[in-house]
């Protein structure tokens, strides 16, 4: 049964022995990070942590590391294996046009399932997130927002589900973008320029500036979402409304991070994952809806003509991302549940909680990658390469140049555009076995011939690229080379013992007592 809310989820975590309560007083400034970091470094991820005695915040517990193990990721998505989610996606994609009445009839359960994806709007009285409504005298620092690392530019809300509406299509987007607290009513809004909410803001700017000064849109596009030298009177219509839900049921929180195509509303993804509609409620001061069971909701807007320095922030690369200019979120109203629970996460040197979320995304997205690149057998984004820096792909190679085609396909696919290095191996190489991958790559390449460079957008967190957000990527074709690719030398077989000898040795192995 789908989790109603964060509390329901916490109960399950506790029942499953996955949650530890911390009753010792801890400071939200750095201390919660140090404890969570140490707990997450255990090989299987360490427990979820509920800090019940947070210095300066009596009565507001902080939940950390809720997704921080494979077991919890599966519990969150209510599956025994992440492949199950992939299987459900495959089943959806596999639909053939039904022939005849019986086949149509067989499809009815699936259609009923699809009905569960759509969110449902409930009234405010059925929405726990409205138990307290603060239209004035609110302060976001009334919640235990963490300062994560020593050189961070301030305190950051790290697990927010940020809701915006596409000004053109009216579709909603939910993305997780960190928010640096500037003061009680103002935060940063760190949506990177390639993310959906940044495009919503650009759409608003195009609408506001487009008629007279298209140059402004250019300037805007150069920045993360605002612009420094256009003067737009910030009328209400010159804003992008934003709502932020903190502490939602796990499927909704997870949906905010998945790299879904822009056309797909994350509330539908959450509905698909939990197999029950997400309940939404209208906001008080903006024309948006938020999960009705959220612990805390911040409503407000981002001005079209405002940027502010954001960062530094100790990031999931293991390095700090340095200051940059990002839009500013002005809070117009805060609503919350009685006795709210504050949900957060930290990022830093891997492995951290986001490693487990990333691995779940890797499994779930494989069938979707195969839609465009059906030759892909498996993928591995090693945690240590912080996902976007390295993708290892195995392919069933059927024609010359196919490894390069796959690289280019990946660089063209949504957020996979950020992949700095792609390694392509043949289908008989297990990409999850990094020793095997290393052996193949080191043996199979003629570096000058098999390494390909290209230029394009890179992740905003990349500190090594020649320019912020723009740089090179590398693909390594470690597949066996074919004559059709100009390789006419014989390619040696890999060493393997014959089956009969193996069987004979199996039969006597234990007697030999060699291990
Ligand atoms: C803990 C965590 C923090 C994140 N912080 C940011 C962030 O500050 N800015 C950003 O652009 N993406 C961030 N991301 C990645 C986005 O959530 C992810 O790219 C998501 O797909 C964006 O949604 P969108 O495609 O609807 O824009 C974060 C992800 C996680 C798991
Ligand atoms: Mn999206």
pLDDT value at residue 149:
98
Q: Which residues are within 8 A (CB) of 493 and not within 5 positions of it... i.e. 6 or more apart?
A: none
Same domain, 209 and 320: yes
DSSP string, 171-197: -EEEE---EEEEETTEEE----TTSHH
pTM above 0.85, yes or no: yes
Query: Is the Cβ–Cβ distance between 74 and 81 less than 8 Å?
Result: yes
CA distance 304 to 306: 6
462 lies in a domain? yes
Query: Is the Cβ–Cβ distance between 117 and 275 less than 8 Å?
Result: no
Query: Is the Cβ–Cβ distance between 225 and 217 less than 8 Å?
Result: no
Same domain, 54 and 185: yes
pLDDT value at residue 96:
79
Query: Is the Cβ–Cβ distance between 350 and 316 less than 8 Å?
Result: yes
Same domain, 222 and 295: yes
Q: Which of 173, 231, 171 is nearest to 205 (CA)?
A: 231
Query: Is the Cβ–Cβ distance between 93 and 367 less than 8 Å?
Result: yes
Q: Which of 412, 417, 413, 393 is nearest to 403 (CA)?
A: 393
Q: Which residues are within 8 A (CB) of 293 and not within 5 positions of it... i.e. 6 or more apart?
A: 4, 5, 6, 127, 128, 129, 248, 249, 279
- Which helix H or strand E contains 52, and what residues bound it? none
177 Cβ inside 6 Å of ligand 1:
yes
Out of 325, 343, 361, pick the residue that ends a domain: 343
Taking the CA of 310 as reference, the closest ligand is 1
Query: Is the Cβ–Cβ distance between 381 and 97 less than 8 Å?
Result: no
Taking the CA of 414 as reference, the closest ligand is 1
Same domain, 377 and 313: no
Same domain, 321 and 380: no
pLDDT by residue (tens digit) across 282-319?
999 999 999 999 999 999 999 998 999 999 999 999 99
Query: Is the Cβ–Cβ distance between 422 and 476 less than 8 Å?
Result: yes
What's the domain count of the chain?
Answer: 2
47 Cβ inside 6 Å of ligand 1:
no
Residues assigned a catalytic role? 315
The tokens of 38 are what?
């140490």
DSSP string, 239-273: EEEEEEEES--HHHHHHTTS---TTS-HHHHHHHH
Same domain, 252 and 152: yes
Query: Is the Cβ–Cβ distance between 303 and 226 less than 8 Å?
Result: yes
* Residue count of the chain: 515
321 lies in a domain? yes
Find tokens 């954001």 and name the residue.
310
266 lies in a domain? yes
Q: Residue 442 class from Cβ within 10 Å (0-12 exposed, 13-18 middle, 19+ buried)? A: exposed
385 lies in a domain? yes
Q: Rounded to an integer, what is the distance from CA 195 to the centroid of its chain?
A: 11
Same domain, 198 and 284: yes
pLDDT by residue (tens digit) across 185-206?
999 999 999 999 999 999 998 8
Same domain, 228 and 187: yes
Same domain, 38 and 142: yes
172 Cβ inside 6 Å of ligand 1:
no
pLDDT value at residue 116:
84
195 Cβ inside 6 Å of ligand 1:
yes
Q: Alpha-carbon dihedral of residues 275, 157, 62, 285, nearest 10 degrees?
A: -70
**Ligand 1 atom closest to the CA of 415, numbered from 1:** 19
491 lies in a domain? no
* φ/ψ of residue 464, rounded to 5: -105, -15
Q: Which of 159, 155, 124, 162 is nearest to 140 (CA)?
A: 155
CA distance 322 to 226: 18
**Ligand 1 atom closest to the CA of 176, numbered from 1:** 17
Query: Is the Cβ–Cβ distance between 263 and 214 less than 8 Å?
Result: no
| CATH number of the domain to which 458 belongs | 3.40.1670.10
The tokens of 104 are what?
């149509």
Q: Which of 467, 371, 386, 461 is nearest to 421 (CA)?
A: 386
Same domain, 387 and 445: yes
Q: How far is the CA of 176 from the centre of ligand 1 (A)?
A: 4
Strand order in the sheet with 342-343: 19-22, 48-51, 62-64, 342-343
Q: Which of 250, 231, 171, 160 is nearest to 203 (CA)?
A: 171
187 Cβ inside 6 Å of ligand 1:
no
β 390-395/421-426 pair status: parallel
Q: How far is the CA of 171 from the centre of ligand 2 (A)?
A: 10
Per residue of the chain (515 residues), give pLDDT as tens: 899 999 999 999 999 999 999 999 999 999 999 999 999 998 889 999 999 999 999 999 999 999 999 999 999 999 999 999 989 888 888 877 888 888 888 888 878 888 889 999 999 999 999 999 999 999 999 999 999 999 999 999 999 999 999 999 999 999 999 999 999 999 999 999 999 999 999 999 888 876 544 444 444 555 544 444 455 555 556 899 999 999 999 999 999 999 999 989 999 999 999 999 999 999 999 999 999 999 999 999 999 989 999 999 999 999 999 999 999 999 999 999 999 999 999 999 999 999 999 999 999 999 999 999 999 999 999 999 998 999 999 999 999 999 999 999 999 999 999 999 999 999 999 999 999 999 999 999 999 999 999 999 999 999 999 999 999 999 999 999 999 999 999 999 999 999 999 999 999 999 999 98
463 lies in a domain? yes
Beta bridge partners of 455: 472
**Ligand 1 atom closest to the CA of 196, numbered from 1:** 27
Q: How far is the CA of 263 from the centre of ligand 2 (A)?
A: 7
β 48-51/19-22 pair status: parallel
The tokens of 243 are what?
């709502």
192 Cβ inside 6 Å of ligand 1:
yes
Q: Which residues are within 8 A (CB) of 455 and not within 5 positions of it... i.e. 6 or more apart?
A: 470, 471, 472, 473
Beta bridge partners of 333: 299
| CATH number of the domain to which 60 belongs | 2.30.110.10
Best residue among 68, 178, 180 to mutate for probing ligand 1's pocket (most ligand atoms within 8 Å of CB) is: 178
3-state class (DSSP) for residue 301: strand
Q: How far is the CA of 255 from the centre of ligand 1 (A)?
A: 10
191 Cβ inside 6 Å of ligand 1:
yes
Q: How far is the CA of 252 from the centre of ligand 2 (A)?
A: 12
Q: Rounded to an integer, what is the distance from CA 462 to the centroid of its chain?
A: 17
Full residue range of the structural domain in which residue 402 is found:
373-485
Find tokens 């990333």 and name the residue.
358
Same domain, 70 and 18: yes
Same domain, 82 and 221: yes
């Amino acid at each position: 049964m789908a989790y109603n809310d964060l509390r329901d989820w916490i109960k399950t975590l506790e029942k499953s022995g996955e949650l530890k309560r911390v009753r010792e007083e801890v400071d939200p400034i750095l201390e919660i990070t140090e404890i969570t970091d140490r707990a997450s470094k255990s090989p299987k991820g360490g427990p979820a942590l509920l800090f019940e005695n947070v210095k300066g915040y009596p009565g507001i517990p902080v939940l950390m590391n809720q997704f921080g193990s494979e077991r919890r990721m599966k519990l969150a998505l209510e599956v025994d294996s992440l492949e199950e989610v992939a299987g459900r996606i495959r089943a959806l994609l596999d639909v053939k046009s039904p022939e005849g009445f019986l086949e149509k009839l067989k499809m009815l359960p699936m259609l009923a399932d699809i009905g569960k994806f759509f969110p449902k709007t409930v009234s405010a009285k059925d929405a726990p997130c409205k138990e307290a409504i603060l239209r004035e005298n609110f302060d976001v620092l009334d919640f235990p927002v963490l300062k994560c690392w020593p050189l961070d530019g301030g305190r950051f809300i790290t697990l927010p589900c940020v809701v915006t509406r596409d000004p053109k299509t009216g579709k909603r987007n939910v993305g997780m973008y960190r928010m640096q607290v500037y003061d009680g009513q103002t935060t940063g809004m760190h949506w990177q320029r390639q993310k959906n909410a940044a495009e919503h803001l650009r759409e608003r700017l195009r609408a506001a500036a487009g008629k007279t000064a298209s140059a402004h849109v250019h300037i805007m596009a150069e920045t993360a979402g605002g612009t420094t030298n256009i003067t737009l009177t910030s009328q209400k219509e010159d804003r992008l409304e934003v709502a932020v839900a903190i502490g939602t049921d796990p499927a909704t929180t997870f949906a905010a991070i998945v790299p879904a195509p822009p056309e797909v509303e994350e509330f539908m993804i959450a509905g698909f994952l939990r197999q029950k509609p997400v309940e939404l409620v209208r906001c008080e001061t903006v024309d948006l809806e938020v999960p009705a069971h959220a612990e805390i909701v911040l409503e407000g807007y981002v001005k079209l003509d405002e940027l502010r320095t954001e960062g530094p922030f100790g990031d999931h690369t293991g390095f700090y991302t340095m200051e940059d200019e990002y839009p500013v979120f002005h809070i117009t109203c805060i609503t919350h549940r009685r006795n709210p629970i504050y949900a957060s996460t930290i990022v830093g040197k891997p492995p951290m909680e986001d490693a487990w979320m990333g691995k779940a995304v890797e499994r779930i997205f494989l069938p979707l990658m195969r839609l465009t690149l059906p030759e892909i057998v498996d993928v591995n984004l090693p945690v240590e390469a912080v996902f976007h820096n390295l993708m290892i792909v195995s392919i069933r190679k059927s024609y010359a140049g196919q490894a390069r085609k796959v690289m280019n396909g990946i660089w063209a696919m949504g957020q996979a555009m950020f992949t700095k290095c792609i390694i392509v191996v043949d289908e008989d190489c297990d990409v999850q076995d990094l020793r095997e991958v290393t052996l193949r790559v080191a043996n199979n390449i003629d570096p000058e011939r098999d390494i390909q460079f290209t230029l394009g957008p890179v992740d905003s967190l990349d500190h090594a690229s020649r320019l912020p957000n723009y740089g090179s990527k590398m693909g390594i074709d470690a597949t066996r080379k074919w004559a059709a690719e100009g390789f006419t030398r014989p390619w040696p077989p890999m060493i393997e013992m014959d089956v009969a000898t193996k069987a004979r040795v199996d039969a006597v192995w234990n007697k030999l007592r060699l291990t």
